[in-house]
A and B are shown apart, each in its own frame.
Chain A
Amino acid sequence: MTTATLQAAPQPRPLTKPTYLADGKTIRSWLLTTDHKRIAILYMISITLFFFIGGAAATMMRLELLTPQGDLVTSETYNKLFTIHGVVMVWFFLIPSIPTVLGNFLVPLMIGARDVAFPKLNLASWYLFMAGGAFAVFSIITGGVDTGWTFYTPYSSTYANGHVIAMATGIFIAGFGSIATGLNFIVTIHKMRAPGLTWFRLPMFIWTIYTTSLILVLATPVLAITLTLMALERAFGVGIFNPAMGGDPLLFQHLFWFYSHPAVYIMILPGMGVVSELIPCFARKQMFGYRFVAYATVAIGVFGFLVWGHHMFVSSQSIYAGMIFSILSFAVSVPSAIKVFNWTATLYKGSIRFQTPMLYALGFVGLFTIGGLTGLFLACLAVDVHVHDTYFVIAHFHYIMVGGMVMGYLGGLHFWWPKITGRLYPERLAKLSAVTIFLGFNLTFFPQFILGYLGMPRRYPVYAPEFQVLNVFSTAGASILAVGYVLPLAYLLWSLRWGRVAGPNPWQATGLEWTTSSPPPTDNFEKTPIVTEGPYAYDAQAAEAELEAGHA
């Protein structure tokens, strides 16, 4: 690839300092590191582990659901499986995924800083995360928990089996890790930007991480106190959710969803940020409507706090509150629509290449759109009465969380892999696995929409026989999906050793992170960069001209 297309990126100087990977080889140097890039790697390894724990639970669930009788595992085991699956996937994989891995790695690089504002706190976050994970794994190994990831009272506080308190403690501790991470990012983005890097010159990824952090900081403490209240009630038999005392079980739901609805935006905004980097780069186009997309990001973050009651339409919440939450849910969908349209419009008059990250990005846009639109079905009061707590909901959120966010994470991982490791992954294999994941995903979860409208309730190991056919499709899809997920694990590891050396900027991308070497030195930049222009200074015409001239 030529360097002539690098109009935006100044030439990296030859390396004088060791890369962050070479700066200390001992285990100790990793476990006590305060380098944001190394911490990102620590997170990457941890969440991959958790993903496979959650995935193993999903695999067993899908196998159980092959037949209607519930013959592979007992109901109790199944209940523990989906609890483990939900808890691990949400708190120990998806919420930390892009923010802590790509966010930690990229935020300082993208804003031209040497590190985050509080590097020690950053490392402490990881330890909190791991301590929380240890509690969760402990409670899984010693018998599991069967409350579902939502921990509804009075079931969780009075009737449930297993180590509910240990699990809640794990989430509580990991939650404080999240809060610390969010706080760190917000301060970093406010205070550490390179000279000239004004708010509207920031890459969209930074905007999304900023908004995500805001949600982390303002919502997570509510989860912490809610789980504490639930655990106290369980431990001492008195508490404020207990109907026998005149308490209201719905108060728990209000508090839980006050956190958990905004949390779903923690689980999508960073993915949107990644896609907003990928599409302009591979279309060689300026992002369409940059400012609108930035405003939409913040709007999603703020409005996201106003809609939690849409999980409670049939919970016996007041119907008037239900109506308020319904209309606000529609309103919060508008900024998402803006984003989808702007991504599509960015393709217009581009010079589009279909490398692996771009395939993931396009997959994201399609699957997020379907997931989001089915969210509208759920926000529609009368329809939600029918589909609430059915597989329709399951399909809705897997379309967004797996089809959207996991795709976004994988896309971002492939895109910045050369920056992180200095090596390129094998392109053909990567494309193959991207396509496999896309197909497997749709086969797994599309049938669940139909199942849901037909009325199959969620959390059912034993189900009515007429639902079997669609469940078999779904399980078949899940096995394809599993293959799709194992492939990247294999070839990414392979590339660490045998991958082609990448060079500082293999995609001819703009953005400060591409101006330093790959992998970057510990201090990120030889000299603090000075920014003089906006993001995404791509030029489709120039890219074409070059192609014609016979380069690349």
Chain B
Amino acid sequence: MPDVLAVPIEHQFDDATQQREAATMGMWLFIATEILLFGGMFLGYTAYRHAYPSAFAEASRHTLIAFGGTNTAVLLISSTVMAFAVRAASQNRRKLLGLLLFVTASLGVLFLVIKGLEYAHEINEHLLPGRAFHIDAADPQHAELFFYIYWLMTGVHALHVTIGVVLITFFAFRAWFRDAFRNHDTPIELLGLYWHFVDIVWVFLFPLIYMIDRHS
């Protein structure tokens, strides 16, 4: 058990347990709002995929499944590492925690790099909606709609990843150099929750974007 005395308790709380449970609950509520934030875009996706199934299938085949698949693996691994980091924090293993956080953040950066390459490729191929958009498809208009949604959802997701990477790096430094989370691992746990959530979003995005109709 960590040394409870070392946890600073804010004045509105009675004890460490209350403080910790409140923070965790707050984070989960935040995640619920995030689900609905992405939910709005998922509704757009569902409605249009239902309306233009063949255009979506065709457009989806223009996405780079190798990149998407690798990225899924990268995020899943980073989530696993993050889980170990949270564990290290609760065991007060400061160096291990710092290290694991660095690994997590690096995997996040790797994800962003791969995503960036993919974006660059797509811009070259004129798959960024707008004036320059061009696609060899039977129904270019609705393929463009697909790509609009694709850019939107992956973009918002990438924004979340970026925020996560920044936070994780920051926390990693604080763990390594300051030992900031000794007996006080709640922030790391919350960070972990956030990161896992970002991972879950991708787990759903991946098949919806890259694999609508790969078998034909």
Residues of A within 8 A of B145 (CB): 240, 245-247
Check A222–B148 contact: CB distance below 8 A.
no
B33 on the interface (CB 8 Å rule)? Answer: yes
Give the shortest distance, in Å, between B149 (CB) and chain A (any CB).
Answer: 6
**Any A CB within 8 A of the CB of B36:** yes
Asked whether B44 lies within 8 Å of A224 as measured between CB atoms, the reply is no
A248 within 8 A of B: yes
Query: Which residues 231-287 of A sit at the B interface, judged by CB distance below 8 A?
Result: 232, 236-240, 245-248, 251, 254-255, 258
List the B side residues contacting A192 at CB < 8 Å.
12-13, 18, 22
A238 lies within 8 A of B144 (CB)? yes
Check if B48 is an interface residue, CB within 8 A of chain A.
Answer: yes
The reply on B120 being an interface residue by CB < 8 A is no
Residues in A neighbouring B40, C-beta threshold 8 A: 221-222, 225-226, 229, 255, 258
State which residues 142-167 of B face A: CB under 8 Å: 142, 144-145, 148-149, 152
CB-contacts of B111-132 with A (<8 A): 129-130
What distance in Å separates the Cβ of A189 from its nearest Cβ neighbour in chain B? 11
Contact residues of A between 202 and 246, Cβ < 8 Å to B: 217-222, 224-226, 229, 232, 236-240, 245-246
- A contact residues around B39 at 8 Å (CB): 221-222
B148 touches A238 (CB 8 A): yes
Number of interface residues of B (CB under 8 A): 37
Residues of chain B in range 45-61 having any CB-CB distance to chain A below 8 Å? 47-48, 51-52
Query: Residue of B at shortest CB range from A232?
Result: B152
Count how many chain A residues have C-beta atoms less than 8 Å from C-beta atoms of the other chain: 42
Inter-subunit contact B30/A251 (CB<8 Å): no
Once the chains bind, are B33 and A220 in contact (CB under 8 Å)? yes
**Is A117 a contact partner of B130 (Cβ separation < 8 A)?**
no
**Residues A113-132 near B (CB distance < 8 A):** 113-119
> Given A183, A224, A238, A239, which contacts B26 in the complex, CB threshold below 8 Å?
A183
Q: Is the CB of B130 within 8 A of A237?
A: yes
Distance of A372 Cα from B106 Cα, bound (Å): 56
Would A191 and B18 count as touching, CB distance under 8 A?
yes
Contact digits for A137-155, partner B, Cβ 8 Å, 1 yes 0 no: 0000000000000000000
Does A187 touch B at the CB level, under 8 Å?
yes
CB contacts (< 8 Å) of B22 on chain A: these are 117-118, 187, 190-192
Q: Indicate if B41 sits at the interface (CB-CB under 8 A).
A: yes
Known: A238-B144, A254-B43, A255-B43. A113 touches B26 (CB 8 A): no
| Nearest Cβ on chain A to B197's Cβ, whole angstroms | 13
- Known A183-B30, A222-B36: A114·B129 in contact at CB below 8 Å: no
Tell me if B141 is interfacial: C-beta within 8 Å of chain A. Answer: yes
Closest to A219 in B: B36
- For residue A166, CB closer than 8 A to chain B, the reply is no
Instruction: Specify which chain B residues have a CB less than 8 angstroms from the CB of A255 in the assembled complex.
Output: 40, 43-44
Q: How far is the CB of B35 from chain A (nearest CB, A)?
A: 8
Q: How far is it, in angstroms, between the C-alpha of A240 and the C-alpha of B46 when the chains are bound?
A: 12
Cβ B142 vs Cβ A217 within 8 A: no
Which chain B positions have C-beta within 8 A of A218?
32-33, 36
What are the residues of chain B within 8 A of A254 when measuring CB–CB?
43
When distances are taken between beta carbons in the complex, the residues of chain B under 8 Å from A116 are 12
CB <8 Å contact, B11 and A217? no
User: CB within 8 Å of B: which of A399-416?
Assistant: none
Decide if A513 is an interface residue (CB 8 Å cutoff).
Answer: no
Instruction: Output the least CB separation between A381 and chain B (Å).
Output: 23
B25: Cβ under 8 A from any A Cβ = yes
Q: In the bound complex, do residue B21 and residue A191 qualify as a contact, i.e. CB atoms below 8 Å apart?
A: yes
Q: How far is the CA of A116 from the CA of B19 in the complex (A)?
A: 11
A384 contacts chain B at the CB level, 8 A cutoff: no
Top 4 A-B residue pairs of the complex, sorted by shortest distance between their CB atoms: A225-B40, A115-B12, A221-B37, A191-B22
Complex A-B: 25 CB contacts under 8 Å = A108-B12, A117-B12, A179-B33, A183-B33, A186-B25, A187-B22, A187-B29, A191-B21, A192-B13, A192-B18, A217-B29, A219-B36, A221-B34, A221-B37, A224-B37, A229-B41, A238-B130, A240-B44, A240-B149, A246-B141, A246-B142, A251-B43, A251-B44, A251-B47, A255-B40
Known: A190-B22, A192-B18, A229-B41. 4 other contacts (CB 8 A): A220-B33, A229-B40, A255-B40, A255-B43
